[in-house]
Structure 1
């Protein structure tokens, strides 16, 4: 992936790092393995010109190593990819949905507005995913978000949060982990400085990528503002990370 410089100022302890595109694997007691996003898949790597498109590959410089795919990483953990019974998507961009075809029997959970907009990734969806869709209107109120959805067929505490704006039906995914909640915020934001300080700091390159593709900037920033409040709450039990920030991912390695 493309190497990026930190944007925290000259005194930052952070070093340049390659942007990431990570997924989250959740082992549950009753719902099998649950993936949050599917990443780039084996078919994308086998045929990047058709499925990823040459201009996108040139811009982002993704790893095209099959061992980095979700299906290979799951097998490397000694788990069976066939046990992935559910995939919860933040959105349908190719670097988040390409791996869907590696898990053709999994139920794919997302907001209906996102599924309806999915024509931008036709190759990644040609196998016919088993959609489970949700409206972003009626739903629960959770940590300042309205329209939050519990997931059909998943008894564990995994929630779909409306974080629209990057795409029409973009979502965050909250997972209960013991006494804390983890929120995979997808591409709602792309740099930790947008949520970990009172005065947000954007990353010039990542902000350019964000601005070139977002569908509703005001809506997206409203969601990011609420995420920032959760991150900065000294008494809170919520941790937030995005899909592409390597320094956020490093916290968990």
Structure 2
């Protein structure tokens, strides 16, 4: 099974806000999303990254416009989701599955581009989105105008999929395709319903840990940022235990990749064979 991760945009932040003991120098963070070529499910997206829909789309509300003005994401035109699909000979209609790791704008802004896709996401988290007022959702970093109107009818919730127990140093989770190839691992702390993806069958098992931290050094050097970074966390108390689980996975020989870490990885598109194979 082949997979690549593309960089939809860059966002700049002071290092000390995302790394304990860091400096005031600016760090350009990536905003990754993934493309998996599954032998049965076909091409599968992992989130969508930032797309113009989040920054200039007609459906944006006032708070989403303010969000874009404050963060100022620098979109990477060459690695936007549609050009990347075209690079692999794919169109939006070829995408029948999008894995949505959580509901923040830099992960869902392109969902409406895929009218034929089913969405794998936390149905428990979606139920909470449905039960909240728009103002309450904003407090959780969720901009509901970015969801397709028929999101719920196309939702394949995690609760409907088989569970996998933890074993051999691997965390437990949910088997997304019923073959053990992609396991959704609960990663509480950053966002409601956030889960990462474990690819246990690789020569070196990989856990895509999404937004548990912004920088890998926060894990490997035990430099998890505190206040004020914890203000934007869904469950600040869960960040340390989740980070500790990732450190244990690293200690067993696994590899951890984060959405925003600026360092290139062997799975990033610029380092990968441009053909799907």
Q: How many residues align?
A: 240
Alignment counterpart, residue 53 of structure 2, candidates 31, 43, 51: 43
- 8 A Cα contact 1:165 1:219, kept in partner: yes
Per-residue Cα deviation, 1:168-191 (whole angstroms, up to 9, x for no partner)? 211111124632222211111111
| Alignment partner, residue 258 of structure 2 | 242
Q: Give the direction of change, closer, same or farther, for the CA distance of 1:251–1:40 in structure 2 (3 Å limit).
A: closer
Q: Which whole-Å CA distance do the structure 1 matches of 2:20 and 2:55 have between them?
A: 36
| Alignment partner, residue 3 of structure 1 | 12
What TM-score does the superposition give when structure 1 sets the normalisation length?
A: 0.80
Q: Which whole-Å CA distance do the structure 2 matches of 1:44 and 1:75 have between them?
A: 21
Alignment counterpart, residue 123 of structure 1, candidates 145, 149, 161: 145
Q: Give the direction of change, closer, same or farther, for the CA distance of 1:77–1:17 in structure 2 (3 Å limit).
A: farther
Gaps of 5+ in 2: 1-9, 130-136, 272-277
Alignment counterpart, residue 238 of structure 2, candidates 209, 219, 230: 219
Higher relative contact order (CA 8 A, sep 6+): 2
Q: Give the direction of change, closer, same or farther, for the CA distance of 1:79–1:155 in structure 2 (3 Å limit).
A: farther
Q: Give the direction of change, closer, same or farther, for the CA distance of 1:188–1:248 in structure 2 (3 Å limit).
A: farther
Q: Give the direction of change, closer, same or farther, for the CA distance of 1:144–1:217 in structure 2 (3 Å limit).
A: farther
- 8 A Cα contact 1:39 1:97, kept in partner: yes
Alignment counterpart, residue 166 of structure 1, candidates 178, 190, 193: 190
Q: Which whole-Å CA distance do the structure 1 matches of 2:236 and 2:257 have between them?
A: 19
Q: Give the direction of change, closer, same or farther, for the CA distance of 1:31–1:174 in structure 2 (3 Å limit).
A: same
Q: Which whole-Å CA distance do the structure 2 matches of 1:6 and 1:248 have between them?
A: 18
Q: Which whole-Å CA distance do the structure 2 matches of 1:111 and 1:217 have between them?
A: 19
Per-residue Cα deviation, 1:210-234 (whole angstroms, up to 9, x for no partner)? x12212122232111110111133x
Per-residue Cα deviation, 1:129-182 (whole angstroms, up to 9, x for no partner)? 211112399832234534x10115x64601111112212211111124632222
Q: Give the direction of change, closer, same or farther, for the CA distance of 1:166–1:5 in structure 2 (3 Å limit).
A: closer
Q: Which whole-Å CA distance do the structure 1 matches of 2:216 and 2:162 have between them?
A: 30
Q: Which whole-Å CA distance do the structure 2 matches of 1:40 and 1:133 have between them?
A: 23
Alignment counterpart, residue 56 of structure 1, candidates 51, 63, 67: 67
Per-residue Cα deviation, 1:23-64 (whole angstroms, up to 9, x for no partner)? 111112221111111112343344278167232112221124
Q: Which whole-Å CA distance do the structure 2 matches of 1:48 and 1:241 have between them?
A: 33
* 1:201 and 2:217 correspond: no
Alignment counterpart, residue 111 of structure 1, candidates 117, 122, 146: 122
Alignment counterpart, residue 96 of structure 2, candidates 85, 89, 102: 85
- Alpha-carbon RMSD: 3.2
| Alignment partner, residue 186 of structure 1 | 210
| Partner SS, residue 196 of structure 2 | strand
Q: Give the direction of change, closer, same or farther, for the CA distance of 1:9–1:37 in structure 2 (3 Å limit).
A: closer
Alignment counterpart, residue 140 of structure 1, candidates 161, 164, 174: 164
| Partner SS, residue 135 of structure 1 | helix
